[in-house]
Amino acid sequence: MTEAPGGVQVVRTPEALRAVRQGLGPVGFVPTMGYLHEGHAALIRRARQENALAVVSIFVNPMQFGPTDDLARYPRDLDRDLRVCAEAGAQVVFTPDAGVMYPPGFSTQVSLTGVSEPLDGAARPGHFTGVATVVLKLLNLVQPDRAYFGEKDWQQLAVIRRMVADLNVPVQVVGVPTVRADSGLALSSRNSYLGTEQQARATVLSRALRAVQAAYAAGERDTARLEQAGLDVLATDPEVQPDYLAVVPPDLQRQPTVTPDPLNRVLVAARMFGVRLIDNLPLDPADPVPAALPPGGPA
């Protein structure tokens, strides 16, 4: 265990984590893959506000990267991350290496059906098995009272909620709204791959989502026509290579016609300049997310 600038305790093994965790609570937990930005800082601040102890994990999880994904070049800067953690109020940072998380002989995986299958589940086979496995391991290690996830990864949030409900994991999963740049671009560690002009062009994703919202506000309820309104915007930039743009209900199973629900969402994933970006918005921004959510539903 070491102490970083700002008084953050950095631990690298489960044993050291248990030592700093023991007897303290309530605990708020923010799992990350590092290269932290203001979106992560918002999660950490929320965890610190609502708990006695805020724990952040930094672990680039190889299990959730596919063969064509960017594991080798995924951005890493631990010193910078520790500064972000300290400034946002985290007291403990858990930074295990792959050998700690997946020791020799490791052979257990967590697989879900339903919410994990469409969208990113179809575009990135095996991705959510990697996510669910590492998140369950981290929840078991940290044993938090609350765990905080950004709404930018809406499907991931739904998958984690489903897993926690199905496996009776004693943690409250808290969704935190997406943090955006002034341009409307959703903050992401992968934005670091893009230059300033490229980031400006990447706002086409959020503009496409807003076009779908506008069509819905104008009375359109046909799913295909709503999605086409967003696809038309994506088509204005030849660099966009969409994986999907989908209007989905809370269970993420696309339907021909939209039934009003405050948890309806429009999600997009696309590659631009060789970088895969995702974003989402509520279908009806005037419809607040209810305080009480169905088991396994998104936050």
| Residue positions annotated with a catalytic role | 40
- Residue 190 assigned to a binding site: yes
- Residue 37 assigned to a binding site: yes
- Residue 216 assigned to a binding site: no
- Residue 150 assigned to a binding site: yes
- Residue 40 assigned to a binding site: yes
- Residue 64 assigned to a binding site: yes
- CA atoms of 56 and 92, how far apart (whole Å): 6
- Residue 57 assigned to a binding site: no
Residue 292 CA to chain centroid, in angstroms?
21
- CA atoms of 161 and 179, how far apart (whole Å): 21
- Residue 39 assigned to a binding site: yes
- Residue 36 assigned to a binding site: yes
Residues in the chain: 299
Amino acid at 77: D
Q: Which residues are within 8 A (CB) of 106 and not within 5 positions of it... i.e. 6 or more apart? A: none
C-beta neighbour count of 36 within 10 angstroms: 25
| Distance (Å) of CA 52 to CA 4, 14, 155 | 19, 20, 29
Residues making up the binding site: 33-40, 64, 150-153, 156, 179, 187-190
Which residues line the annotated binding site for beta-alanine?
A: 64
Instruction: Show binding-site residues for ATP.
Output: 33-40, 150-153, 179, 187-190
- Which residues make up each annotated binding site for (R)-pantoate? 64, 156
